[in-house]
Protein backbone atom coordinates (compact mmCIF):
# COMPACT_ATOMS: atom_id res chain seq x y z
CA UNK A 1 0.00 0.00 0.00
CA UNK A 2 1.41 3.37 -0.92
CA UNK A 3 0.49 6.28 1.32
CA UNK A 4 -1.14 8.74 1.68
CA UNK A 5 -4.56 7.14 1.23
CA UNK A 6 -7.66 9.05 0.11
CA UNK A 7 -11.10 8.29 1.52
CA UNK A 8 -13.80 9.92 -0.60
CA UNK A 9 -17.54 9.84 0.09
CA UNK A 10 -19.83 9.35 -2.89
CA UNK A 11 -22.02 12.37 -3.57
CA UNK A 12 -25.80 12.05 -3.71
CA UNK A 13 -26.13 8.44 -2.60
CA UNK A 14 -28.98 7.18 -0.41
CA UNK A 15 -26.67 4.80 1.42
CA UNK A 16 -23.32 6.13 2.67
CA UNK A 17 -20.52 4.99 0.37
CA UNK A 18 -16.82 5.70 0.29
CA UNK A 19 -13.86 4.65 -1.78
CA UNK A 20 -10.35 4.17 -0.41
CA UNK A 21 -7.50 4.75 -2.87
CA UNK A 22 -3.73 4.74 -2.45
CA UNK A 23 -1.34 7.46 -3.65
CA UNK A 24 -1.25 5.98 -7.18
CA UNK A 25 -5.09 6.21 -7.34
CA UNK A 26 -5.47 2.41 -7.13
CA UNK A 27 -8.78 1.37 -5.52
CA UNK A 28 -8.10 -0.52 -2.28
CA UNK A 29 -11.71 -0.92 -1.19
CA UNK A 30 -15.21 0.39 -1.75
CA UNK A 31 -17.30 0.63 1.41
CA UNK A 32 -21.10 0.80 1.46
CA UNK A 33 -23.32 1.25 4.50
CA UNK A 34 -26.77 -0.26 4.01
CA UNK A 35 -29.55 2.32 4.21
CA UNK A 36 -32.59 2.01 6.47
CA UNK A 37 -31.20 -0.76 8.68
CA UNK A 38 -31.96 -0.82 12.41
CA UNK A 39 -28.53 -2.32 13.06
CA UNK A 40 -25.54 -0.92 11.18
CA UNK A 41 -24.59 -3.13 8.23
CA UNK A 42 -21.54 -2.25 6.15
CA UNK A 43 -20.05 -4.18 3.24
CA UNK A 44 -16.51 -3.72 1.94
CA UNK A 45 -16.09 -4.48 -1.78
CA UNK A 46 -13.03 -4.90 -3.99
CA UNK A 47 -14.68 -2.92 -6.80
CA UNK A 48 -16.87 0.16 -7.26
CA UNK A 49 -19.49 -1.92 -9.10
CA UNK A 50 -20.02 -3.77 -5.78
CA UNK A 51 -19.77 -7.23 -7.33
CA UNK A 52 -16.91 -8.66 -5.20
CA UNK A 53 -17.61 -8.40 -1.46
CA UNK A 54 -14.53 -8.76 0.74
CA UNK A 55 -15.72 -8.02 4.29
CA UNK A 56 -18.92 -7.51 6.25
CA UNK A 57 -19.21 -5.24 9.29
CA UNK A 58 -22.24 -5.57 11.58
CA UNK A 59 -23.19 -3.79 14.78
CA UNK A 60 -23.97 -5.85 17.86
CA UNK A 61 -26.94 -3.62 18.83
CA UNK A 62 -29.55 -1.29 17.41
CA UNK A 63 -28.49 1.85 19.28
CA UNK A 64 -24.87 2.53 18.43
CA UNK A 65 -23.82 4.13 21.73
CA UNK A 66 -20.87 1.93 22.81
CA UNK A 67 -21.59 -0.48 19.96
CA UNK A 68 -19.13 -3.06 18.71
CA UNK A 69 -18.90 -3.61 14.95
CA UNK A 70 -17.73 -7.14 14.11
CA UNK A 71 -15.63 -7.56 10.95
CA UNK A 72 -15.80 -10.86 9.03
CA UNK A 73 -14.40 -11.79 5.66
CA UNK A 74 -16.68 -12.96 2.87
CA UNK A 75 -16.29 -16.58 4.03
CA UNK A 76 -17.50 -15.73 7.56
CA UNK A 77 -14.08 -15.79 9.28
CA UNK A 78 -13.85 -13.24 12.09
CA UNK A 79 -11.13 -10.66 11.32
CA UNK A 80 -11.61 -8.23 14.20
CA UNK A 81 -13.92 -5.52 15.50
CA UNK A 82 -14.33 -1.79 15.94
CA UNK A 83 -15.68 -0.68 19.32
CA UNK A 84 -16.91 2.82 20.06
CA UNK A 85 -16.06 4.06 23.54
CA UNK A 86 -19.50 5.39 24.54
CA UNK A 87 -19.05 7.85 27.39
CA UNK A 88 -15.54 8.77 26.30
CA UNK A 89 -16.88 9.59 22.80
CA UNK A 90 -19.42 12.15 23.94
CA UNK A 91 -16.83 14.93 23.73
CA UNK A 92 -13.86 13.37 21.92
CA UNK A 93 -14.66 10.46 19.62
CA UNK A 94 -12.71 7.37 20.60
CA UNK A 95 -12.75 3.95 18.94
CA UNK A 96 -10.82 0.76 19.56
CA UNK A 97 -9.87 -1.64 16.78
CA UNK A 98 -9.66 -5.17 18.16
CA UNK A 99 -8.35 -8.57 17.12
CA UNK A 100 -9.31 -11.65 19.18
CA UNK A 101 -10.78 -9.36 21.88
CA UNK A 102 -7.51 -7.44 22.39
CA UNK A 103 -7.08 -3.78 21.48
CA UNK A 104 -4.65 -3.43 18.56
CA UNK A 105 -5.31 0.24 17.66
CA UNK A 106 -7.01 3.20 19.32
CA UNK A 107 -8.53 5.96 17.17
CA UNK A 108 -8.85 9.32 18.94
CA UNK A 109 -10.22 12.57 17.65
CA UNK A 110 -7.48 15.18 17.95
CA UNK A 111 -9.61 18.35 18.05
CA UNK A 112 -13.22 17.90 19.21
CA UNK A 113 -14.01 21.59 18.52
CA UNK A 114 -13.49 20.97 14.79
CA UNK A 115 -16.24 18.31 14.84
CA UNK A 116 -18.61 20.61 16.74
CA UNK A 117 -17.97 23.49 14.33
CA UNK A 118 -18.29 21.23 11.30
CA UNK A 119 -21.61 19.79 12.52
CA UNK A 120 -23.09 23.21 13.29
CA UNK A 121 -21.89 24.78 10.04
CA UNK A 122 -23.18 21.87 7.90
CA UNK A 123 -26.67 22.40 9.31
CA UNK A 124 -27.00 25.93 7.91
CA UNK A 125 -29.06 25.88 4.69
CA UNK A 126 -27.10 26.71 1.51
CA UNK A 127 -24.04 28.00 3.42
CA UNK A 128 -23.58 24.53 4.95
CA UNK A 129 -22.42 23.27 1.55
CA UNK A 130 -19.19 25.20 2.18
CA UNK A 131 -18.48 23.44 5.51
CA UNK A 132 -15.89 21.26 3.77
CA UNK A 133 -13.70 24.33 3.38
CA UNK A 134 -13.90 25.54 6.97
CA UNK A 135 -13.52 22.76 9.55
CA UNK A 136 -11.20 19.78 9.29
CA UNK A 137 -11.56 17.10 11.99
CA UNK A 138 -8.44 14.96 12.56
CA UNK A 139 -8.03 11.48 14.00
CA UNK A 140 -4.86 9.90 15.36
CA UNK A 141 -4.50 6.12 15.35
CA UNK A 142 -2.22 4.72 18.07
CA UNK A 143 -0.83 1.20 17.82
CA UNK A 144 -1.39 -0.24 21.31
CA UNK A 145 1.76 0.92 23.11
CA UNK A 146 3.92 1.04 19.97
CA UNK A 147 3.38 4.68 19.01
CA UNK A 148 1.27 6.40 16.36
CA UNK A 149 0.43 4.48 13.18
CA UNK A 150 -1.84 6.77 11.15
CA UNK A 151 -3.27 10.29 11.05
CA UNK A 152 -6.53 10.92 9.19
CA UNK A 153 -7.62 14.46 8.38
CA UNK A 154 -10.66 15.83 6.58
CA UNK A 155 -9.58 17.77 3.50
CA UNK A 156 -11.12 20.88 1.91
CA UNK A 157 -13.83 19.72 -0.51
CA UNK A 158 -17.02 21.12 -2.01
CA UNK A 159 -20.27 19.15 -1.57
CA UNK A 160 -18.46 16.02 -0.44
CA UNK A 161 -16.31 14.61 2.33
CA UNK A 162 -12.71 13.86 1.55
CA UNK A 163 -10.23 12.44 4.06
CA UNK A 164 -6.48 11.88 3.75
CA UNK A 165 -4.74 9.14 5.76
CA UNK A 166 -0.99 9.53 6.30
CA UNK A 167 1.17 6.72 7.62
CA UNK A 168 3.31 7.51 10.66
CA UNK A 169 6.42 5.75 11.98
CA UNK A 170 5.09 2.63 13.70
CA UNK A 171 5.92 -0.55 11.71
CA UNK A 172 2.91 -2.74 10.88
CA UNK A 173 2.48 -6.32 9.73
CA UNK A 174 0.30 -6.93 6.63
CA UNK A 175 -2.48 -8.29 8.93
CA UNK A 176 -2.24 -5.19 11.13
CA UNK A 177 -2.37 -2.93 8.09
CA UNK A 178 -5.44 -4.74 6.70
CA UNK A 179 -7.26 -4.51 10.05
CA UNK A 180 -6.26 -0.87 10.42
CA UNK A 181 -7.54 0.01 6.95
CA UNK A 182 -10.91 -1.69 7.47
CA UNK A 183 -11.22 -0.25 10.99
CA UNK A 184 -10.31 3.27 9.90
CA UNK A 185 -12.77 3.22 6.97
CA UNK A 186 -15.47 2.04 9.39
CA UNK A 187 -14.58 4.77 11.89
CA UNK A 188 -14.66 7.53 9.27
CA UNK A 189 -17.97 6.21 7.93
CA UNK A 190 -19.52 6.15 11.41
CA UNK A 191 -18.15 9.60 12.25
CA UNK A 192 -19.43 11.03 8.97
CA UNK A 193 -22.81 9.48 9.70
CA UNK A 194 -22.86 11.26 13.05
CA UNK A 195 -21.71 14.56 11.57
Q: Where are the domains of the chain?
A: 5-193
pLDDT tens string 38-86: 567 899 999 999 999 999 999 887 665 678 999 999 999 999 999 988 6
CA dist 38 and 143 (Å) reads 32
HSE-CB at 182 with a 13 A cutoff on CA atoms is: 30
CA dist 121 and 4 (Å) reads 28
The gap between the terminal CA atoms of the chain, to the nearest Å, is 29
Q: What is the pLDDT of residue 162?
A: 86
Q: What is the pLDDT of residue 195?
A: 41
User: Which CATH class for the 5-193 domain?
Assistant: mainly beta
The model's pTM: 0.84
pLDDT tens string 7-21: 998 766 667 889 999
Share of the chain above pLDDT 90, in %: 47
Amino acid sequence: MSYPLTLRFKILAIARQLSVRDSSDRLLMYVKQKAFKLKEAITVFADEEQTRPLYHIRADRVIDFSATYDITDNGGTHIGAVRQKGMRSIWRSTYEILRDGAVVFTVTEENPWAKVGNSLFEGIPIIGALSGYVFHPRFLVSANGRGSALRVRKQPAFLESLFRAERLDTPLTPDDERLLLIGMATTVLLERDGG
